[in-house]
Structure 1
Amino acid sequence: MPRHTLPSLLLALACCQPAWALSGEMVVIVSARNATDALRADQVADIFLGQSGRFPDGAQASAVDQPIGAAQRDAFYLKVAAKSPALLKAYWTKMIFTGRGQPPREVPDSAAVRRLVADNPGLIGYIDRDALDASVKPVLVVR
């Protein structure tokens, strides 16, 4: 194989990576005023999939989602709930049709999620780790 082919091949492979694979770490966040300090991935998945409406201490929990089609959203559900976008759509279609639940509220981006969660101790969301500030605290790192 010629020498110049390997760098070209590596560049081509990097360009074919999904956007979420190239992005930074995500964190699941709650308000700094929320008593919860840590959650397991299965607990987070249960809240985001409407299977649980409570934090471990019994306080009310409501999820805030990124928009459909966002790379962060796709990566979050794949890593935390093992659901691809197609499986997630099918899941919520069934939940809505059977009257067992509604998907989480959607907001435009990490900054909007952080602002909303910071203002309400009953909310939980996910953002880029780089978007963290003192108004929220991470309860799970999503790798």
Structure 2
Amino acid sequence: MKVLVLGLALSLSSLSALADVSVIVNPGNSSAVSADMVKKIYLGKTKSFGNGISVAPMNQDGTALADEFNDKVVGKSSSQLNAYWAKLVFTGKGTPPAKAPSDQAVIDFVASTSGAIGYVDSASVNDKVKVVAKF
């Protein structure tokens, strides 16, 4: 019985850990952003939005939301993505996105930077930023 209760409690807690991820940009950015474009931005394969503005991606640093974003959007685990970027940095072919410690730090960066893109828990979104995709 204890095992059943423990299993149920763990299942419920893991469901609550999965949050909707909102991809956000600066409100002044009028470009359309597809899921494929977001993936390419976070893999360093796209350097600007459709309107020509240079992209400034912001990642979250070691959060559960970052793991979820990497899995759902980029299609790689966090360790695979770290290895991917390590190879690009080592060969001089790329620089990984900057990292922020929290949703609020990402929102503040995106709100103050015209070409910024980031992701946050959908519950954290406010009117300082524009949501372009949800996963």
Q: Same fold (TM over 0.5)?
A: yes
How many residues are matched?
135
Q: What runs of 5+ residues in structure 1 fail to find an aligned partner? A: none
2:9 counterpart of 1:11: yes
Residue 124 of structure 2 is aligned with which of 105, 120, 131? 131
2:82 is equivalent to residue 89 of structure 1: yes
**Aligned to 1:77, which of 67, 70, 93?**
70
What is the aligned-residue identity percentage? 36
Task: Identify if the C-alpha distance between structure 1 residues 5 and 91 changes in structure 2 by more than 3 Å, giving closer, same or farther.
Answer: closer
* Unaligned segments of structure 2, at least 5 residues: none
**Cα separation, 2, equivalents of 1:64 and 1:90:** 18
**2:58 match:** 64
Does structure 1 residue 24 correspond to structure 2 residue 22? no
1:50 and 2:44 correspond: yes
Distance in 2 separating the partners of 1:78 and 1:22: 14
* SS at 1:64 equivalent: strand
Q: Match of 1:45, as an amino acid?
A: K
Deviations 1:46-73 (A, max 9, x none): 1111111111222211101111x21111
Give 2:103's aligned residue.
110
- The 3-state SS of whatever aligns with 1:100 is coil
**How far apart in 1 are the matches of 2:19 and 2:63?**
14
Going from structure 1 to structure 2, the CA distance change for 1:84 and 1:5 (only over 3 Å counts) comes to closer
Q: How far 1:89 moved relative to its partner?
A: 1.3
CA contact (8 A) 2:19 2:65 kept: no
Provide the TM-score with structure 2 as the length reference.
Answer: 0.89
Q: Within 2, Cα distance between the matches of 1:12 and 1:77?
A: 23
Give the aligned CA root-mean-square deviation in angstroms.
2.0
